[in-house]
Amino acid sequence: MTRSARRMADIQPFHVMEILKRAHELAASGRDIIHLEVGEPDFASPQPIVEAAQRFLAGGHVHYTPALGLNTLREAIARFYHDRFGADVPPERIIVTPGASGALMLALAALTDPADEWLLPDPGYPSNRHLVRSFEGVPRALPVDASTRFQPTPAQVEAAWTAQTRGLMVASPANPTGTLLALDEIVALQETVSQHKGVLIVDEIYQGLNYGVDASTALSRLDDVFVVNSFSKYFGMTGWRLGWLVAPEAYVRDIEKLAQHFFISPSTPAQHAALAAFEPATIAILEERRHEFAERRNALLPALRQLGFQFATEPQGAFYLYADISGITKDSQSLARLLIEEAGVATTPGIDFGDNGPELHLRIAYTTGAGRLLEAVERIARVL
Ligand SMILES: Cc1ncc(COP(=O)(O)O)c(C=O)c1O
């Protein structure tokens, strides 16, 4: 007889994976599917990164690294913060992790006591509430909408705070909405949180994928904050499984102990590859890709608006559009099903991202070339 832990009753599947499965079934039966559901860049990892990994692997010495990551990589990340954002972040505060996912696990495991509440914007990244639950915390949704660019305000955090609240998690740029928090807004949220002796976690995984506004980091204004980042998105390294966490100094030793037990060390080949991620030749490739993402976004937004998709606030980051579909239907799951079955276009219904109007929203990822995006729009138009 199986007996999973009680918490498993609260762990939901990643619904977008179900869409992906259906997309693969249809593709296997010969249908041409356009993928607008995938949350990863369609580009290959930049060549300098691949070559750095190949050089390392040729030596054959693929051993563990220190649990906090290669010192050279931690120093390279610190230099990146300094050179790109003017932020002084000592390498000692940087913990290299298996993706932003590993960083989120470490932060939440180090900070959460049983029954501690975490305030999470809804809609938001689905894994956060499940990670909080996995560490016996309680996820508390903060409903956010277009009126605040889908980001929480200090007043809202203040009103939601209870004696059990441990902290607030935000993302900028955010998933699924692609919206940003200005640095002043992050500082104001941190002030509210710290008045209650709570903790702020800022997920900056989409940092660098900004359109019409400069990339930024909370670390240029704040030390007393946990910052999550990754090589997955801007750096185009999803499958390498590498990210990092910046923690206030006082927490690093605790997090190191957890990292030793959770992971022993992050992937060694991935860390050697990532040493090439900040080289000027790599950044030049990544900036070209950022421009292409911007062009896709600029073409897709008006085309979808013409079809009745609404965007009360324009996303300025990541590679997602979070469309209000209330002018078309009040059932995003049926619309997603219709689009994949009839138009061969895969999208993600709002259900993955929380309980705040999921039936009225669809996430559309522009992680596909411009030609295919426009074809997707034509197919959607025909079906609607
Ligand atoms: C907001 C956010 N945080 C964290 C992650 C985890 O990414 P990874 O573990 O690949 O770095 C994702 C992935 O889509 C995300 O959207």
Show the domains of the chain with their CATH numbers. Answer: 6-44+281-383 (3.90.1150.10), 61-278 (3.40.640.10)
Q: Is 175 in the pocket of ligand 1 (CB under 6 A)?
A: yes
CA–centroid distance, residue 262 to ligand 1 (Å): 18
pLDDT value, residue 20: 84
Contact between 172 and 197 under an 8 Å Cβ cutoff? The reply is no
CA–centroid distance, residue 202 to ligand 1 (Å): 12
Contact between 105 and 243 under an 8 Å Cβ cutoff? The reply is no
Q: Is 219 in the pocket of ligand 1 (CB under 6 A)?
A: no
pLDDT value, residue 96: 98
Contact between 139 and 7 under an 8 Å Cβ cutoff? The reply is no
CA–centroid distance, residue 2 to ligand 1 (Å): 31
Q: Is 243 in the pocket of ligand 1 (CB under 6 A)?
A: yes
CA–centroid distance, residue 1 to ligand 1 (Å): 35
SS3 363: strand
Residue 151 has phi, psi (to 5 degrees) of -120, 150
pLDDT value, residue 106: 98
Q: What share of the chain is helix, strand, coil (3-state, %, to 5)?
A: 50, 15, 40
pLDDT value, residue 239: 96
- Residue 331 to residues 325, 340, 349, Cα–Cα distance (Å): 8, 15, 9
CA–centroid distance, residue 381 to ligand 1 (Å): 31
Contact between 112 and 123 under an 8 Å Cβ cutoff? The reply is no
Dihedral, 282, 80, 215, 102 alpha carbons, nearest 10: 90
Q: Where are the alpha helices (DSSP H) in 29-98?
A: 47-59, 71-85
Q: Is 203 in the pocket of ligand 1 (CB under 6 A)?
A: yes
Query: Among 108, 125, 207, 367, which is best to mutate for testing ligand 1, by the most ligand atoms less than 8 A from CB?
Result: 125
Relative to the CA of 102, which ligand 1 atom is closest?
Answer: 9
pLDDT value, residue 190: 98
Relative to the CA of 101, which ligand 1 atom is closest?
Answer: 9
| pLDDT tens-digit readout, 55-86 | 999 999 999 999 999 999 999 999 999 999 99
pLDDT value, residue 19: 83
Q: Is 101 in the pocket of ligand 1 (CB under 6 A)?
A: yes
Q: Is 265 in the pocket of ligand 1 (CB under 6 A)?
A: no
Q: Is 171 in the pocket of ligand 1 (CB under 6 A)?
A: yes
Strands 348-349 and 243-246: unpaired
pTM score: 0.97
Among 172, 137, 177, 108, which Cα is nearest to 354's?
Answer: 177
Q: Is 320 in the pocket of ligand 1 (CB under 6 A)?
A: no
Q: How many CB atoms lie within 10 A of CB 219?
A: 20
Q: Is 205 in the pocket of ligand 1 (CB under 6 A)?
A: yes
Stretches in the chain below the pLDDT threshold 50: none
